[in-house]
Chains A and B, each alone.
Chain A
Amino acid sequence: MRVPGTTAQVTDRSTRAAIALRGARLSYGDRVLWDGLDLDVAPGEFVAVLGPNGSGKTSLMRVLLGLQPLSAGTVDVAGGNRRIGYIPQQRAIDVSLTLRGRDLVGFGLDGHRWGLGWRNRRERRDRVDAALESVGATKYADEPIGLLSGGEQQRLRVAQALVGDPEVLLCDEPLLSLDLANQRVVSDLIDARRRTAGTAVLFVTHEINPILPLVDRVLYLVEGRFRIGTPAEVMTSRTLTELYRTNVEVVRVRDQIHVVGAQHVCEDEPHHITNEAV
């Protein structure tokens, strides 16, 4: 489903960082969410963003999406070409909504453009078909979307984010409210994309375990403090105790990481990127 680009673009893509934050600061009045944040995400890299509620994970997402200006510092996403895919958390969709899976995916391609888009309809259809196929959603692409299961809807969300051939994939709690099997399916699809196409993945989550085998680095945000490193570096009792400023114990059980001790370490409250905008 990749659109053939020129060689120059491909080299360019592989040499520069997909996401670059320099001295980034975000504050609302006196309240500083984070400051002095330097982050380079390489093409094909998988970075998990963790932290308690109100630590600025969603705000970081909004900054990267261009919906929120930084208070200081610079941000560069996909070289400014807006090739960004966005996967939201799964939410209940009205069963009577007049919309099919293929319509949802089509929005990912050109839903933000003005006009009716009658031109290039055939090419558009081919790309939507390819995206549906790539997530195994062809079978239910023409069904009313409200009748699909949460897992099927999230597969369509992945296709919606990938159909525009993104350089950067921003995932905002995409596994929330999915069962284990579907968490696996959706995270594997995201992983496959970054491996085959070199798409950088920034994955906001409150629960690292479902994606732990995929994560290259972790950005852990707590009350204006943050730490960036591999899961082995960041997810330790010592680092998290420093971040939370209270005694936190990190326990490894088989292949899983459990954080014990800090209140609100694990939040289950879903958050909404649209809250401030709609």
Chain B
Amino acid sequence: MEHFLDLDITLDVLSYVQPMLVAGAVLGLLGGLLGPLIVTRKMAFAVHGTSELAFTGAAAALLVGVGVGYGALAGSVIAALLLGLLSTRNSDRDSVIGAILAFGLGLGVLFLALYEGRAVNKFGLLVGQVVSVGSADLWLLVGSSVAVLVVLAFIYRPLHFASVDAAVAVARGVPVRTLSVVFAVLVGVAVALSVQLVGALLVLSLMITPAAAATRVTASPLRATLLAVVFAEVSVLGGMVLSLAPGLPVSAFVTAVSFLIYLVCRLTSGKRERVQ
């Protein structure tokens, strides 16, 4: 613990974790942009469910010897499609997610039990442990993120409309149901990418916490989104840099920073009072 903030070690390590920082920055951007929509659509639990299935996919990939990233991607996109298609009525959404999540997690545990490789890989899928991000992984991550952002930009306006004002959006001809499935898939891709960095259990710290903090302090959707991006970047990059010297898991620091921001926003928010 004496190395907790050792600048020399931090700077030294920084040079070879650069790809990891790039990955973190991209994921922070994704989380910050998607987060406010997720919060508005009350999808925090769905995101958690999706990340558990990303874990299942990753565990399966580990078992059969395929890239963990592809496994996570397959798992969470399947989850997103299932959740998007099954839960058309809001009333049973939570229970559907709960049922799928539990089954997926159990399956993942089974795959890990059957896997005979290094134990650190198993633990890493749940709580995040990026030893190194290879350039192939980085390209997959950046490419997938760009694809998510392009689709998001195209559907953003009607999606936002449908998210906050479904009745009128339907009346104006917005394809509300299709959009919610497409959005679930976008979130699924972002979740799968984030699982590799912070682990399945802690994806919410990237996708939810920054947006939850931002929406506390402003009622403007644009400002909330910009703030969420800033908060997510500070959490991810700050958390990564802080974790370097002590050599402790990245996810612990990322969650700590994002939660701290959330607390500050909650305590200082003046949004709930009407200015008259």
- On A, residues with C-beta under 8 Å from B are 65-67, 82, 86, 88, 91, 95-100, 103-104, 107-108, 110-117, 142-145, 147, 157, 160, 170, 272-274, 277-278
Contact = CB atoms under 8 A, between A and B. Distances in A.
13 contacts: A65-B171, A86-B168, A95-B272, A98-B218, A99-B164, A103-B221, A107-B165, A107-B169, A111-B157, A112-B172, A114-B157, A116-B153, A274-B166
Chain A to chain B: the 5 pairs with minimum beta-carbon distance, closest first = A111-B161, A144-B219, A86-B171, A112-B172, A98-B215
B102 interface: no
A143 B274 CA distance: 7
Contacts of B160: 107, 111
Contacts of A88: 167-168, 171
Contacts of A274: 166-167, 170
A116 B154 CA distance: 7
Interface in B156-189: 156-158, 160-161, 164-174, 176-177
Given A114-B154, A273-B171, A277-B177, 20 more contacts: A86-B168, A88-B171, A95-B272, A98-B36, A98-B40, A98-B220, A99-B221, A100-B220, A107-B169, A111-B174, A112-B157, A113-B158, A115-B154, A115-B156, A116-B156, A143-B275, A147-B274, A170-B171, A278-B166, A278-B176
B215 A96 contact: yes
Interface centre among A86, A91, A99 (most CB of B within 10 A): A99
Q: What's the interface size class on B, roughly? A: 35 or more
Nearest to B225: A98
Nearest to B217: A98
B49 to A, nearest CB: 21
A66 B167 contact: no
B161 to A, nearest CB: 4
Interface centre among A111, A115, A143 (most CB of B within 10 A): A111
B274 A98 contact: no
A86 B172 contact: yes
B215 A272 contact: no
A108 B171 CA distance: 11
A272 B172 CA distance: 15
Contacts of B157: 110-117
Contacts of B169: 107, 111-112
B202 interface: no
B5 interface: no
Given A111-B160, A114-B155, A117-B157, A147 B171 contact: no
B240 interface: no
Nearest to B211: A98
Contacts of B218: 98
B271 interface: yes
B219 A99 contact: yes
Interface in B24-68: 36, 39-40
Interface centre among A67, A108, A278 (most CB of B within 10 A): A278
B224 interface: yes
B219 A142 contact: yes
Nearest to B177: A278
A209 B221 CA distance: 39
Contacts of A86: 168, 171-172
Contact of A67 (B165, B171, B271): B171
Contacts of A112: 157-158, 161, 169, 172-174
A65 B272 CA distance: 36
Contacts of A82: 173
Contact of A111 (B158, B167, B220, B275): B158
A99 B174 CA distance: 19
Contacts of A143: 219, 274-275
Contacts of B220: 98, 100, 103, 142
B247 to A, nearest CB: 38
Nearest to B214: A98
B271 A144 contact: yes
Contacts of B88: 278
Given A107-B161, A273-B167, A67 B40 contact: no
A99 B36 CA distance: 11
A162 B169 CA distance: 15
A98 B158 contact: no
Contacts of B176: 277-278
A98 B221 contact: yes
B166 A67 contact: no
A272 B170 CA distance: 11
A145 B274 CA distance: 10
B171 A98 contact: no
A103 B169 CA distance: 13
A81 B36 CA distance: 34
Contacts of B154: 114-115
B54 to A, nearest CB: 27
B95 to A, nearest CB: 18
B202 to A, nearest CB: 24
Contacts of A67: 170-171, 173
